Every structure is written in structure tokens, then in C-alpha cells.
Amino acid sequence: MEAGVEARLARERERMVDEQLARRGITDARVLDAMRRIPRHRFVEEGLAHGAYEDHPLPIGEGQTISQPYIVALMTSLLELTGQEKVLEVGTGSGYQTAVLGALARRVCSVERLPRLPSARGARSRASASPTSGSASATRARLARRGALRADPRRRRRSAVPPPLVEQLAEGGRMVLPVGNAEDQVLTVVERSGGEIRSRQAGDCKFVKLVGKYAWES
């Protein structure tokens, strides 16, 4: 892109962080800094770059979307990453969330089942983040771990928390995921603490359809 366009988009990115994130309660300074630095417009088609910093998701092909900036920030904040985590992300999508996680964790491994999506074509490499790697998978979910599974940020909705993921949570592990159905979803945080599984709700959300073993019936 021309220098003038990049400069304008950089200003829009600053405004996005100030107006859409900080003013709406995102207080994690590391998350805000990462989203100030990572160019979201490089994770969408060039014809959509002008709207990359608006307050809504954008299509990325194959019926998938790049999530609304606020949702990316909220889910990432709920993980409470410290920078020491090894993050496994399943369902890369555009690669934007991958880059944000990569800026906040020690390492990110991301997999995607749809080879035509921007992430599969190398969009992640166009942003500054910690080392990432990727491969294909039939599972649509998001996981993160430090040692054993420590956290799970996922973009895809489910009718219930997948039992295998709960079983793999280490002490102090955390999952952030949409729970519900196609019309009614709630962002939920699931944690293992003191040997017990605890969950809490973090607000309404809306995501594209989940496919796979733990998806609801279409």
C-alpha cells in the first residue's frame, strides 16, 4: 500500500483501540499495545482494508469472518496471558487472533481446516508476533496452554463445553469460548482451580457456525 494509505490506517487503528477497546472496558495494557501494533488491515482482502478498523467483523471467505476487534480484545484479555505460555490455536481463520496471541505468549501453534483462508496463505507472517506455526485440522476451536492446557480462546460457538478439553485443563488452566446455539451464545470462561472446574459468563456474543464432533446439529 502507499505510504499515505498506511499512515491513515495507522491513525484508524489508534482510534479503534481508544474508542472501541479502552472506552469499553478493556484494561489489559499488553492487549491494548498488541492491538495498536498489529495491522488488522493486512488480514483482510485489500478491497476491505478501508473497513478493517470499524466496529464489526468482516468476511474472509469460505463463510468465515475476522472477528470484531472488541471480541478479539475481550477474549484475549480473559486469558490473562503473561508471556510465558505455549498457545495452541485451532481454527486460525484470518490469522489476526493468532498474531495478537503471538505478541502476548511465548509461542503459538495454529491450525486451520480450510486451506483457502488467508491464514493458510501466510497472512500471519505479515504481522509482528512471536514465532507461529500452522497446519490443517478438522476441529474448529481455540486452545492455549502453558505446560499442559492452560487457556483456550475460541471463536466458534458450541452448545456445551467439550468434555475432552475440560479433562485436559491443567491446574490454573483456562478456556474462553462461546456456549449456546446459533441464535443465543454467551462468552464463557472455564477454569480449573484447586482441582475443581469453575465457569463464569463474560457477555453475549455471536460467531459463525462450528463444525465437527462437538457442533450442534444443523
Give the C-alpha separation, 111 to 80, whole Å: 22
> Distance (Å, rounded) from C-alpha 157 to C-alpha 56?
17
> Residue 38 and residue 130: Cα distance in Å, rounded?
12
Report how far residue 68's alpha carbon sits from residue 26's, in angstroms, rounded to the nearest whole number: 14
218 is catalytic: no
Identify residue 184 by its one-letter amino acid code: D
- How far is the CA of 209 from the CAs of 64, 115, 116, 144, in angstroms? 9, 17, 17, 21
Integer Cα distance of 164 and 180 in angstroms: 18
To which H or E segment does residue 120 belong? none
Catalytic residues: 67
